[in-house]
Structure 1
């Protein structure tokens, strides 16, 4: 009797083993013979979107909003994630802190300015040492290991401003310069280019250079002080987007619109209004939307392993009232991104 139960036990186990093997083979055959639909099929590898960070000089500055618009348009087209983060108002320490934080988060690429050589070059080099590419925008850091620069040739832009002032004043003017920053590289280049452009003009004198810290209020305060100290000043050059606006307010308060020449930078709505009124005579036009767009485009090519040019200069020109309205509007009209 015991032998009979043994035979039954072993026979049942073998049958169960054969049934299990058959079922496994059947399931495997179904998997290969009838694959899942495209929607159900899981890709072999899943590549997340690249994560880029754009760090502007000032977060809410209208000029940088145009850069942001261009950058986000390119990011959408290319299918990459773009984060726009920076100081509320120009602050180098906060700017550098945000750059370091982005690097610590191991983003795929960082787009930023190279505002001052002493502070920005070491940080940019530190970031690139972590195999995170850096593209400078608007302001270059050529002594750093940044991979590429996209933006205005700032010396040339300043030179254009100087030649425009010389032509429009027929080579006779007592000039005051209001600059956004005495230490920022792009502002220094705009001043130097201007000085070189008017150097040979015997009738042009530069009697003051003051700093606005990129605010309308301080630009106005410095213009007021200059006119009190140098009442013979009859021309102003503003090197940042808000400088000419601040100067124009003071010039109108002094009722000197007819005898004071003002040339500034960029095409903020207030600048255009003063240009239409004739208080501002001319302004240097950049292409902030194109800067943002091309910077993201270059960064995408970089992380894909492609070679990119070390310098890409966007167009710069001087415009006057007769040149309005400006086109294409994307470089000049600020909308909520």
Structure 2
């Protein structure tokens, strides 16, 4: 994929901005899979439009876990469900691949008119993804599964975003030094690509999204920067914090800690505060968790690479609604709808957060509670 510039966050039309500010009723939100008794679609041709008992087209949006990032995507799903007159089921697997597989199987059984999913382990999920694609319209968002039969991927170029993150590290620690990467899991394509982009940038390698991923274990040393390790936590927030605490103890000269998923930076920051090393250890982040944005405001986090989860949700539901109504021209050229990343630093964090609050209809206290 070509490199992309990072434009101003969320260039949305006025109608969409208005839609966010009102109470939205077209989307059934289920953060953890339940045995809710949704009306079943009528039997018959699997290519027919599947509707709820109220006659609305039903689509589904499946995340890769539970995090504040997905709360923002949820708002986009709500707005698109209202704007395009569909019903949307949002499913957030609490415990990894097995839960996500079960949810996808249930959605096949429920005969929804389309599924948007962020695959947790795309290489090992090809079979279930292709089962979904055979039964209904399948697209991916946030993280892709290019080997599957999905119709399109909605998201950013994660390798490019990783290189953007690496540039923030260079700004925060221009003299060089030791860094460590923290992430929920590897094997998930977006995590692997972000990590590789960071590594390639810090080691001053050429721009090559197809470069094989460096192994997670072992030290990677460049002229100025040394990547000590990549530590995973499997979406366990307590483990995420303890991994950061252990790193601070084990590596007293660590200069920068990088969090690749939305909840990683807040847990890193807690560990740094607990060790009384705020300012001594730089923090570079991904995503727009409220605690991360506050830390950028007060200077304890240098910056973050934000995606656009609101648009991930909105554009996914919009595309599925159009496909369900037979509009195949809605599939983006090349099967990729690029929603570029943006670098947030202290000089633009206030503007960014104001935009985010306007879109989601939240204030600071709401965001902090998520």
Q: Taking structure 2 as the reference length, what is the TM-score of the superposition?
A: 0.74
- 271-280 or 184-193, larger mean C-alpha shift: 271-280
**CA separation in 1, counterparts of 2:184 and 2:360?**
20
Asked whether the 8 Å contact 1:158–1:193 carries over to 2, the reply is yes
Provide the rounded CA distance (Å) in 1 between the counterparts of 2:349 and 2:168. Answer: 17
Offset at 1:128? 1.4
Is the CA contact (8 Å cut-off) linking 1:264 and 1:283 kept in structure 2? Answer: yes
Question: Residue 141 of structure 2 contacts residue 153 of structure 2 at CA under 8 Å; is this kept in 1?
Answer: yes
Tell me the residue number matched to 2:197: 193
Offset of residue 250 of structure 1: 1.2
* Structure 1 segment 63-102 matched on structure 2, within 5 A: 63-87=69-93, 89-102=94-107
Change (3 A) 1:333 1:287: farther
1:50 aligns with 2:57: yes
Question: How far 1:300 sits from its partner (Å)?
Answer: 1.6
Q: CA deviation at 1:331?
A: 5.7
Q: Deviations over 1:242-263 (max 9, x none)?
A: 1111111111112211221110
Q: Is the 8 A contact 2:306 2:344 kept in 1?
A: yes
What is the CA RMSD across the aligned residues, in angstroms?
A: 1.9
Higher-Rg member (1/2): 1
Partner residue in 1 for 2:142 = 138
1:116 and 2:143 aligned: no
**Which residue of structure 2 lines up, in the alignment, with residue 300 of structure 1?**
321
What is the total number of aligned residue pairs between the two structures? Answer: 288
Rounded to whole Å, the distance in 2 between the matches of 1:78 and 1:202 is 53
CA distance in 1, matches of 2:360, 2:348: 13
Structure holding more helix per residue: 1
Deviation of the 1:175 alpha carbon: 0.4
Contact 2:160–2:194 (Cα < 8 Å) also in 1: yes
Q: Unaligned 5+ residue runs, structure 1?
A: 1-46
Corresponding residue for residue 180 of structure 2: 176
**Partner residue, 1:252:** 273
Report the equivalent of 2:48: none
DSSP 3-state at the match of 1:273: helix
1:230 aligns with 2:251: yes
Seen in structure 2, the aligned counterparts of structure 1 residues 67 and 176 have a Cα distance that, compared at 3 Å, is: same
CA distance in structure 2 between the aligned counterparts of 1:199 and 1:158, rounded to whole angstroms: 13
Aligned mates of 2:254, 2:139 — CA distance in 1? 40
Moved more, 169-178 or 92-101: 169-178
Per mean C-alpha deviation after superposition, the further-off stretch among 143-152 and 169-178 is 169-178
The answer (yes or no) to whether the contact 2:139–2:153 under 8 Å persists in 1 is: yes
Tell me the alpha carbon deviations over residues 69-103 of structure 1, each in whole angstroms, 9 at most, x when there is no partner.
1011011111111111232x242101110101101
SS of residue paired to 1:115: coil
Structure 1 distance, partners of 2:361, 2:287, is 11
- Residue 182 of structure 1: SS of its match in structure 2? coil
How many angstroms apart in 2 are the aligned matches of 1:120 and 1:323? 39
How far did residue 171 of structure 1 move?
4.6
Corresponding residue for 2:42?
Answer: none
Q: 1:161 aligns with which of 161, 165, 171?
A: 165
Could you tell me which of 220, 229, 232 is aligned with 1:211?
232
Alpha carbons 2:64, 2:119 under 8 Å: kept: no
Structure-2 separation of matches of 1:277 and 1:217 = 24
- Contact map agreement 2:96 2:120 (CA 8 A) in 1: no
* Residue aligned with 2:292, SS: helix
Counterpart for residue 315 of structure 1: 340
Does structure 2 conserve the Cα–Cα contact (< 8 Å) formed by 1:212 and 1:243?
no
**Whole-angstrom CA distance in 2 between matches of 1:86 and 1:175:** 31
Q: CA deviation at 1:150?
A: 0.8
After TM superposition, the runs of 4+ consecutive aligned structure 1 residues lying more than 4 A away are 330-337
Bigger relative contact order, structure 1 or 2 (CA pairs below 8 A, ≥6 apart):
2
1-structure distance, mates of 2:172, 2:295: 17
Q: TM-score, normalised by structure 1?
A: 0.81
SS at match of 1:65: helix
Name the SS of the counterpart of 2:249 in structure 1.
helix
Cross-structure match for 1:62:
68
